[in-house]
Amino acid sequence: MMMKKLLLSTLVLGLLSGCGSDDTQDQPDELVSPQPDKPKYLTVDVKPEAKFVGTFKVNLGRYPDPVKAWLQSDEAYHQGNHTHDKMETGQYYAVDERDALLAGIVNEPEAAIIVDAAEMHQLLMTNPDGLGVGSARSDIFVSGHYSVFDALRYLALTRNDIKLDNIIGYNDSGRDTYEFTLSWDCNGDGEFSDTDNISKESGDIYGCGVNSSNYESPDWHFRFTFENGEMAKANGTLNGVGPQGEASYERMDQFWLKPGMKIRFQSFSPEMTQRRHWVQDREMSRLTQNSGKVIVPTFSVNTPPPMTPTVIKDLEVTAHNMRPDIFQPGVITGMDIFLSAADAGLDIKFNYWPSLSTGAEVGSFALFRAQGISSEVGRGWSTMYGEHATQSDFSRHSVCDFSSQGIVVDPEHCRRDWQSRFGGNVVHLMSDRWVMNQPPEFVMAGFKDHYETWGMPEYSGKDRVERDFSLEEDGSDVMTLQVYELPEDAQGPVLQPTHFGWGIADCTECHNETKQPLGHGGYSWPVNSSDGFDEVQPYYCATCHGNNGAPKAHGETARCFWCHDSEENRPAHHGDASTQRFYQGDEVKSNSHIYNYPNEIAALPRDKMGNFREYDNIWSSVNSDWDMSKPFPDPYSCMTCHQKP
């Protein structure tokens, strides 16, 4: 659980549990805690403490993914009466997972190997295979943390159907990574032999994956999926990662093994191995040319027009050791590249993503501001790292033209290994966990807008807006939402730390109809009836009495519930905004917000296997994309009391 001292945008800790009877009642000085100074590059004072605990999932072999195969076949056709919304230009028909489901094409669930982190740690700490006590990359990971390669070591040590041979150490491979051959007894006959290799002609009767090399193969690598919780709209087989997981050119022994994630070890095509080696060789060549220094040839911040992009050539990167809980001192991460640009004079700030309202366990720093432009939740900074030549490798319509590197790819191998939206971009790997001891050719930050893609209502809190709160949505309960100005100290009875309820956001916990009214013309509270409300709003009270010790904000301007709906981050003493409720049926409005762009993300609700599935029910905050608290509407109440730093 995250440290309770973490104070994000809407989180107000209940410093006092009782309600006094006197606004001026004295309180001990130690109850008043000054706001700590933020670290130089951060919007919040956070020190993550990642632990290798719990479990993670492993699958062996290529997943056949019949939905992807059908969508890419000549048999795929649009059916049913659904249309795909293309905003501003009308509707059009396309083929997606909804059509596959109507055609009876389904990705069936598969059983996974569940690995207990404690058992893996206990075994690997004995150095059972001679590759190191704990992680085989103790030069990268602190004791108690591991790489995906370490997970493969553990499987080879504890299972009879996996064997690693011909292991070349990371110091000897020339690519700063372990290389090996792998044998998998996929047919279960108790022997490692050529009979485990599955060709298209022989048929995949064992579920090993068609055209898979499983005997003394150098072509095994990994795919990955991070736990994304619920509402997985980008989990499609062409538009997202689907049941296969995301493929990449990353070094297996430098990729941090995060509890809760899913790993797939499988045989890739020989062409994939060649391409991965080509990328890694270029990175190593860059490192050698610069005498071991990590120097990125091109760093750019692509600010929105009309601003001019900021470009730094040959940026030297140094370690800032922002994740000492995971990495050894001196390890370079993607975050270090941006912080090195900040050292060179750029305006760069990171915030922190804890557990999200969707159930996704993130626990990482994220780029928040660059060159004076801050993220706004659904509109913000996206980072990209890599080789210029590989930017079209992983896409829905990749043709895998690598002939300039002497690599000729079989069209079927291209379809299976490369053709997907997110593969290779490693889009869900946060930059503070992405090891980059070998410099990529370019690093870029771009400002992206997801409001339209995901169909989210845009409540930014910047302007007065009207919102219908009635269940019938017939306009009978329309209210004006706005951010209020707080009073200056010299105006009115502004609350001070001696107030008996200092730090408690919901004034009505103590001041309510059962308590003797204190002024207000004989009423306990004024109600903001002029804006259409008929109940007490504590943030409206703040317009006269101040924010009662609410901590400073950290720059976000909307959808505070995304981070403050998880159990450890839910704000206390915020009325119904401190609670969750059960949404079901038509209340889950995200089912009806479906956008589908050619060659882009199809924002469909999907299950874990990438099949179309509308969400039947979900637990979520009263502040959400389909509901809003009246006493504490997000983000208006948040931005009123939690002032910008």
Q: Is the pLDDT of residue 58 over 90?
A: yes
Mean pLDDT of 592-619: 79
Residue-level pLDDT at 31:
36
Name the 3-class secondary structure at 515: coil
Q: Is the pLDDT of residue 37 over 60?
A: no
Q: Is the pLDDT of residue 192 over 70?
A: yes
Q: Give the C-alpha separation, 291 to 293, whole Å.
A: 6
Domain ranges of the chain: 1-32+459-579+622-645, 55-274, 291-454
Q: Give the C-alpha separation, 288 to 285, whole Å.
A: 5
Query: Which residue, chain included where needed, has tokens 């990371």?
Result: 170
Residue-level pLDDT at 555:
87
Residue-level pLDDT at 517:
60
Residue-level pLDDT at 231:
66
Q: For the ranges 130-139, 344-353, 565-574, 577-586, which has the lowest average pLDDT? A: 565-574
Q: Is the pLDDT of residue 89 over 50?
A: no
Name the 3-class secondary structure at 375: coil
Q: Is the pLDDT of residue 27 over 70?
A: no
Residue-level pLDDT at 473:
58
Residue 52: partners with Cβ closer than 8 Å, 6 or more residues away: 117, 121, 144, 145, 146, 257, 259
- The H or E element that residue 637 is part of is helix 636-641
Q: Is the pLDDT of residue 302 over 70?
A: yes
Residue-level pLDDT at 627:
87
Residue-level pLDDT at 594:
74
Residue-level pLDDT at 18:
40
Q: Is the pLDDT of residue 85 over 60?
A: no
Q: Is the pLDDT of residue 92 over 70?
A: no
Residue-level pLDDT at 298:
98
For residue 206, give Cα distances in angstroms to 106, 189, 244. Answer: 19, 11, 18
Provide the total of helices (H) and of strands (E) in the chain, helices listed first: 10, 22
Tens-place pLDDT, residues 153-169: 999 999 999 999 999 99
Tens-place pLDDT, residues 501-517: 999 999 988 887 777 66
Residue-level pLDDT at 358:
79
CATH code of 291-454, in short, is 2.170.130.30
Mean pLDDT of 8-31: 36
Residue 90: partners with Cβ closer than 8 Å, 6 or more residues away: none
Tens-place pLDDT, residues 531-542: 999 889 999 999
Q: Is-contact 369 341, C-beta < 8 A? A: no
Residue-level pLDDT at 492:
66
User: Is residue 181 very low, low, confident or very high in pLDDT (cuts 50, 70, 90)?
Assistant: very high
Residue-level pLDDT at 12:
32
Mean pLDDT of 208-216: 84
What are the start-end ranges of the H helices in 256-360? Answer: 270-289, 334-343
Residue-level pLDDT at 292:
97
Q: Is the pLDDT of residue 341 over 90?
A: yes
Residue-level pLDDT at 233:
80
Q: For the ranges 35-49, 104-118, 304-318, which has the lowest average pLDDT? A: 35-49
Q: For the ranges 361-375, 425-439, 479-493, which has the lowest average pLDDT? A: 479-493
Choice between 246 and 467, residue whose per-residue pLDDT is larger = 246
User: Is residue 148 very low, low, confident or very high in pLDDT (cuts 50, 70, 90)?
Assistant: very high
Mean pLDDT of 386-393: 95
Q: Is the pLDDT of residue 588 over 70?
A: yes
Choice between 208 and 153, residue whose per-residue pLDDT is larger = 153
Residue-level pLDDT at 624:
86
Side chain identity at residue 165, one-letter code: D
Q: What is the percent of the chain where pLDDT is above 70?
A: 87
Q: Is the pLDDT of residue 10 over 50?
A: no
Q: Is the dihedral of CA 360, 365, 371, 372 positive or negative?
A: positive
Q: Is-contact 197 216, C-beta < 8 A? A: no
Residue-level pLDDT at 203:
66
Residue-level pLDDT at 596:
65
Residue-level pLDDT at 525:
78
Tell me the pLDDT of the chain averaged across its residues: 86
DSSP string, 545-607: H--TTPPP--S--S-GGGTSSSTTTPPSS-GGGG-EEEEEGGG-GGGG--BB-TTS-B---B-
Q: Is the pLDDT of residue 476 over 70?
A: yes
Count other C-beta atoms under 10 Å from residue 6's C-beta.
17
Side chain identity at residue 411, one-letter code: P
Residue-level pLDDT at 600:
60
Q: Is the pLDDT of residue 567 over 80?
A: no
Q: What is the percent of the chain where pLDDT is above 90?
A: 60
Q: Is-contact 505 632, C-beta < 8 A? A: yes
Q: What are the tokens at 544?
A: 């006269």
Q: Is-contact 355 250, C-beta < 8 A? A: no
> Quick one: three-class SS letters along 63-111?
CCCHHHHHHCCCCCCCCCCCCEEECCCEEECCCCHHHHHHCCCCCCCCC
Q: Name which of 433, 291, 466 is nearest 363 in CA terms.
A: 433
Q: Is the pLDDT of residue 335 over 80?
A: yes
Residue-level pLDDT at 241:
84
Mean pLDDT of 461-487: 82
